[in-house]
């Protein structure tokens, strides 16, 4: 960190440098071939981690928050025609997000926690002294400090008392959660189709040991951001909404159940499901394969695993054959088996009962 004559200058100098470095680091990674789930993980764990140290000490001005968020969004959505809002990606997984860290809010959580600790005299002596001196002008609202700090004080005043007195290692996490909950926006798709069992669907997409490539396709499919000809036509990006393969109206359902060779694998997937779920009705199969939401809880992992793999195959392969689909399933099952090693995993046992 660079120390300067005034607090304002210190904020400017340090955040300019750190923002530029973080942005450069993101752009350096841009050609890595990661899927959406891996990219978000990579951003959370590596790309943003260098910000948190500075964020504890100096407030992040809005203009740098915007630059950083744009860079993150660009990195995550490169190559996508349709995207989801940042507010959705930052939601918890159970609410339709991918738990992407929200830069501005995380920085607010970090610094306000530090201010609170300083106020209680629990930080290191220099910090304590600094915040003690700043608190009086904060309160009189005639603060000579930058606006970004004044707004932090208002933020602290909006915290519930238990958050302010909370004295655990979890405090930053709790503050972050509080800020995020206050800004909560439900995903667009859940507003559009309020009658689905969304909590189940989100939960199933994120089940452990489903390959992230499958999860990525399913997540994009469920959120309707896969560019079908119908969708592109609605947005005046193409002349026709007809499927490029067969000429029918190109919707997601068409691609999954009805388009050219996809019809064979759609029937095949229903048979596979029948194998592990002999009592299932046609509706059960459709709800499982089209919504990743099996209506019965029994052996839910295998059902979701099948549905996710099937959807991934239908939406990414150009020619569909049952042989190839089964081969993909066998390969992924084998990888899962190796990962489990000698451990006795119940999900694996159930998967093994599938005749692929």
Using CB under 5 A as the binding rule, whether residue 243 contacts Zn ion is answered as: yes
From residue 349, alpha-carbon distances to 13, 274, 343 in Å are 57, 17, 11
Q: Which two tokens stand for residue 93?
A: 């997984």
Name which of 148 and 228 has its Cβ closer to Zn ion. 228
Using CB under 5 A as the binding rule, whether residue 259 contacts Zn ion is answered as: yes
Q: Could you tell me the smallest distance in angstroms from the CB atom of residue 71 to Zn ion?
A: 37
Contact in structure between 256 and 266 (CB atoms under 8 Å): yes
Alpha carbons 13 and 138: distance in angstroms, whole number: 23
Contact in structure between 352 and 231 (CB atoms under 8 Å): no
Q: Could you tell me the smallest distance in angstroms from the CB atom of residue 296 to Zn ion?
A: 32
Choose, by CB under 5 A, the member of 245, 251, 261, 350 that binds Zn ion: 245
Among 29, 25, 1, residue whose Cα is nearest residue 15: 1
Name which of 58 and 259 has its Cβ closer to Zn ion. 259
Cβ atoms within 10 Å, residue 270: 17
**Options 102-110, 227-235, 256-264, 288-296: segment touching Zn ion (CB under 5 A):** 256-264
Alpha carbons 110 and 312: distance in angstroms, whole number: 39
State the angle between helix axes of 7-28 and 62-77 in degrees (0 to 180), rounded to the nearest 10.
10
Q: How many residues can be counted in the chain? A: 356
Name which of 73 and 261 has its Cβ closer to Zn ion. 261
Binding mask 193-232 for Zn ion (x = CB under 5 A): ----------------------------------------
Using CB under 5 A as the binding rule, whether residue 246 contacts Zn ion is answered as: yes
Name which of 126 and 319 has its Cβ closer to Zn ion. 319
Name which of 44 and 245 has its Cβ closer to Zn ion. 245
Q: Could you tell me the smallest distance in angstroms from the CB atom of residue 248 to Zn ion?
A: 5
Q: Give the binding site for Zn ion (CB under 5 A).
A: 243, 245-246, 259
């Amino acid at each position: 960190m660079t120390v300067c004559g005034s607090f304002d200058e210190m904020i400017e100098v340090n955040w300019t440098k750190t923002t530029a470095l973080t942005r450069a680091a993101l752009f350096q990674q841009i050609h890595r071939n990661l899927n959406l789930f891996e990219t978000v993980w990579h951003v959370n764990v590596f790309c943003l981690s260098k910000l948190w140290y500075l964020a504890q000490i100096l407030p992040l001005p809005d203009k740098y928050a915007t630059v950083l968020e744009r860079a993150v969004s660009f990195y995550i959505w490169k190559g996508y025609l349709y995207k989801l809002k940042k507010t959705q990606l930052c939601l918890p997984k159970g609410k339709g997000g991918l738990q992407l860290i929200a830069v501005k809010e995380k920085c607010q959580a970090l610094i306000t926690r530090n201010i609170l600790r300083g106020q209680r005299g629990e930080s290191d002596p220099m910090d304590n002294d600094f915040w003690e001196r700043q608190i009086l002008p904060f309160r009189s609202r005639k603060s000579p400090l930058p606006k970004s700090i004044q707004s932090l004080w208002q933020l602290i005043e909006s915290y519930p008392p238990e958050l302010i007195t909370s004295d655990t290692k979890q405090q930053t996490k709790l503050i972050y959660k509080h800020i995020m909950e206050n800004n909560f926006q439900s995903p667009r798709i859940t507003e559009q189709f309020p009658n689905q069992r969304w909590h189940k669907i989100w939960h199933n997409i994120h089940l452990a040991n489903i390959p992230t490539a499958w999860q990525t396709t399913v997540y994009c499919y469920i959120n309707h951001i896969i560019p079908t000809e119908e969708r592109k036509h609605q947005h005046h990006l193409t002349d026709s909404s007809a499927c490029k393969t067969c000429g029918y109206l190109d919707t997601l359902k068409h691609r999954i159940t009805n388009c050219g060779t996809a019809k064979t694998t759609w029937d095949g997937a229903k048979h596979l499901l029948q194998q592990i779920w002999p009592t299932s009705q046609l509706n059960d199969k459709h709800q499982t394969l089209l919504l990743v939401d099996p209506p019965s809880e029994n052996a839910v992992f295998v059902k979701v695993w099948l549905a996710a793999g099937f959807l991934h195959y239908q939406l990414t392969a150009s020619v569909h054959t049952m042989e190839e689909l089964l081969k993909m399933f066998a390969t992924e099952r084998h990888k899962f088996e190796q990962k489990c090693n000698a451990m006795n995993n119940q999900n694996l046992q159930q998967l093994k009962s599938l005749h692929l």
